[in-house]
């Protein structure tokens, strides 16, 4: 598991790039007295630590006493942020707006009202062009203050104009807040619970969605209103496993940025997340060609300056681009080829251990375990599943359940009959307690409970019966949650036809490409209609 330091200053310093460290040294020497330069010694000492240890730190910087350390660390933290602010001015629109707004306030405090108003008028247009409504509220508030307290004679009808602008922007912000709250709540529901397990789950999500959706939301035209609206529909559909709706709204999410390309630089994280969800939608629908095209688009964006000059953007693109590449191996049945990625993924998880949340790490472990399972390397699969099972977190109850189910199947494949009966009971109880049992899992547990001891010649017909039973529910959303975590049908088909699981999936892919179909998914004409809605 990743080693996570809880010291904020340690995390900040270790997040800096070489240019940022060099800039800090120049900044601090310009702006500090000789007495303050001891913080440079502290900076260097922390930079060299492999993990935060206060006792080691004090030994490395004897000029700092233990009772002084807390205050000096706070001072250093503030100075590092100040140096970063100066370095980031040119590339960050909200930092630019903050700076110009500060200048306007300074001019106002000096009694230079007209000069302050000139700056405010200029940055108002900049804020509008980048959809920065929160700054518009501050700009208009300062303009109103100046006009109320001083006779500026700046223009006729100024009071009416500012009043109308204030009313409009406040109403807009209320709508954006409502929609962003809705998107956040739905996403939070999914992170905790996964897909809807039954009609009760779905009914609760539907009721919450309808009650929270602002009236007239579909007719909104602003960038942020549409972004959060499409995100809300995206999570609403994904929770309910309505993958056609999920695809439709993830495409709209990405298209919002393509309509206003300059917003990719302002809201890079949202654009990256949109591409990630679009790739997921193509994966769920087995849209092979569109998946590949979107993956190439994502790769090109990941190599752009917008991403490369920002550490957070680089980390996010690593997470989502790597996830998509692994998913592509699942789609094509190239599990063994996918294993070549494992050392790289582990190296990056270690490098980014301070920044990647536990949920993402668990997902990577599950995907790596699935690669090993599909490749027939069941012992390695179990090793990664144990990382999930033994990691006590309150996220993704569904992932905890299906990690245990895959763990059970891996032991079954290894022929560990001495523990199968115990595992069947244990995993069944866990999934029942978490409310994750569907008819698919019930059928699998029943099969394992009664047939794991049978010889191969008697076992194959039983696999055929289980496959026929499960395939009845292939179109039922609530009964097929397991398909989102493990291609059980392909696994069973491999058992019935005596083929490796990866060969079965590969044949399906090749057959789909030859026939132009999508395994029962919409044909080309239907897909065009969906795209146009």
Last residue of a domain, one of 155, 183, 199: 155
The predicted pLDDT at position 197 comes to: 77
111 within a domain of the structure (yes/no):
yes
Task: Give mean pLDDT, residues 423-449.
Answer: 86
Tracing tokens 């913080």 back to the chain, one arrives at 39
Separation of alpha carbons 255 and 291, rounded Å: 16
pLDDT digits (tens, 9 = 90+) for 4-45: 446 889 989 988 888 889 888 888 877 766 556 788 889 999
Separation of alpha carbons 148 and 145, rounded Å: 5
| Structure-block tokens of residue 382 | 């179990």
* Number of structural domains found in the chain: 2
Percent of the chain residues topping a pLDDT of 70: 90
Task: Write the CA distances from 447 to 414, 467, 499, 505, integer angstroms.
Answer: 17, 11, 20, 23
49 within a domain of the structure (yes/no):
yes
pLDDT digits (tens, 9 = 90+) for 422-431: 999 999 998 8
Last residue of a domain, one of 90, 108, 143: 90
Say if residue 49 is in the same domain as residue 75: yes
SS3 of 313-329: HHHHHHHHHHHHHHHHH
460 within a domain of the structure (yes/no):
no
Say if residue 128 is in the same domain as residue 72: no
**What is the number of residues in the chain?**
533
260 within a domain of the structure (yes/no):
no
Last residue of a domain, one of 135, 155, 175: 155
Say if residue 13 is in the same domain as residue 80: yes
21 within a domain of the structure (yes/no):
yes
Residue 359 pLDDT level (bands cut at 50, 70, 90)? confident
Residue 528 pLDDT level (bands cut at 50, 70, 90)? very low
Task: Give mean pLDDT, residues 220-242.
Answer: 94
Say if residue 34 is in the same domain as residue 67: yes
421 within a domain of the structure (yes/no):
no
Q: What range defines the domain where residue 13 resides?
A: 8-90
Which of 34-43, 108-117, 409-418, 502-511 has the weakest average pLDDT?
34-43
Say if residue 77 is in the same domain as residue 107: no
User: CB of 506 within 8 A of CB of 513?
Assistant: no
SS3 state at 131: coil
140 within a domain of the structure (yes/no):
yes
Say if residue 20 is in the same domain as residue 71: yes
pLDDT for 247 beyond 90: yes
Say if residue 63 is in the same domain as residue 115: no
Task: Give mean pLDDT, residues 97-115.
Answer: 89
Q: Which of 431, 430, 428 is nearest to 447 (CA)?
A: 428
User: CB of 498 within 8 A of CB of 463?
Assistant: no
pTM: 0.80
Tracing tokens 């990719």 back to the chain, one arrives at 264
151 within a domain of the structure (yes/no):
yes
The predicted pLDDT at position 254 comes to: 97
User: CB of 462 within 8 A of CB of 451?
Assistant: yes
Decide: residue 342, CB within 10 A, 0-12 exposed, 13-18 middle, 19+ buried.
Answer: middle
Say if residue 84 is in the same domain as residue 136: no
Say if residue 102 is in the same domain as residue 83: no
């Amino acid at each position: 598991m990743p080693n996570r330091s809880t010291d904020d200053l340690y995390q900040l310093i270790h997040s800096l790039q070489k240019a940022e460290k060099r800039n800090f040294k120049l900044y601090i020497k310009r702006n500090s007295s000789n007495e303050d330069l001891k913080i440079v010694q502290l900076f260097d000492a922390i930079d060299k630590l492999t993990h935060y240890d206060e006792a080691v730190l004090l030994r490395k910087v004897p000029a700092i006493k233990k009772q002084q350390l807390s205050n000096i660390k706070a001072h250093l933290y503030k100075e590092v942020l100040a140096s970063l602010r100066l370095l980031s001015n040119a590339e960050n629109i909200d930092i630019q707006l903050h700076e110009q707004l500060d200048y306007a306030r300074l001019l106002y405090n000096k009694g230079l009202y007209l000069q302050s108003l000139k700056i405010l008028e200029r940055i108002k247009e900049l804020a509008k062009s980048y959809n920065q409504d929160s700054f518009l509220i501050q700009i208009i508030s300062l303009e109103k203050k100046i006009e109320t307290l001083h006779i500026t004679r700046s223009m006729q009808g100024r009071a009416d104009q500012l009043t109308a602008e204030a009313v409009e922007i406040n109403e807009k912000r209320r709508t954006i807040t409502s929609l962003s709250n809705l998107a956040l709540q739905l996403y939070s529901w999914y992170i905790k619970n996964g897909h809807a397990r039954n009609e009760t789950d779905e009914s609760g999500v539907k009721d919450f969605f309808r009650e929270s959706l602002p009236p007239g939301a579909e007719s909104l035209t602003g960038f942020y209103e549409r972004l959060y609206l499409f995100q809300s529909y995206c999570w609403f559909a994904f929770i309910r496993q309505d993958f056609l709706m999920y695809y439709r709204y993830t495409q709209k999410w990405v298209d919002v940025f393509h309509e206003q390309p300059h917003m990719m630089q302002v809201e890079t994280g949202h654009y990256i997340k949109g591409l990630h969800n679009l790739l997921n939608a193509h994966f769920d629908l087995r849209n092979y060609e569109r998946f590949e095209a979107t993956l190439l688009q994502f790769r090109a964006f990941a190599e752009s300056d917008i991403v490369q000059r920002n550490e957070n953007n680089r980390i996010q693109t690593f997470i989502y681009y790597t996830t998509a590449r692994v998913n592509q191996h699942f789609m094509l049945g190239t599990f063994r080829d996918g294993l070549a990625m494992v050392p790289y993924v582990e190296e990056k998880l270690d490098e980014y251990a301070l920044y990647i949340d536990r949920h993402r790490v668990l997902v990577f472990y599950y995907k790596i375990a699935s690669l090993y399972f599909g490749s027939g390397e069941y012992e390695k699969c179990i090793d990664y599943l144990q990382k999930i099972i033994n990691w006590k977190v309150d996220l993704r109850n569904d992932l905890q359940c299906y990690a245990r189910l895959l763990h059970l199947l891996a032991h079954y494949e290894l022929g560990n009959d001495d523990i199968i009966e115990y595992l069947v009971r244990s995993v069944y109880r866990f999934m029942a307690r978490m409310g994750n049992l569907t008819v698919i899992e019930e059928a699998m547990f029943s099969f394992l409970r009664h047939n794991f001891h049978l010889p191969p010649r008697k076992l194959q017909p039983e696999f055929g019966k289980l496959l026929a039973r499960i395939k009845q529910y292939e179109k039922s959303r609530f009964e097929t949650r397991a398909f989102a975590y493990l291609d059980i049908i392909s696994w069973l088909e491999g058992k019935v036809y005596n083929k490796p699981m990866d060969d079965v999936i590969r044949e399906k892919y090749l057959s789909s490409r030859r026939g132009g179909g999508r395994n029962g998914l919409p044909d080309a004409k239907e897909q065009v209609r969906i795209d146009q809605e």
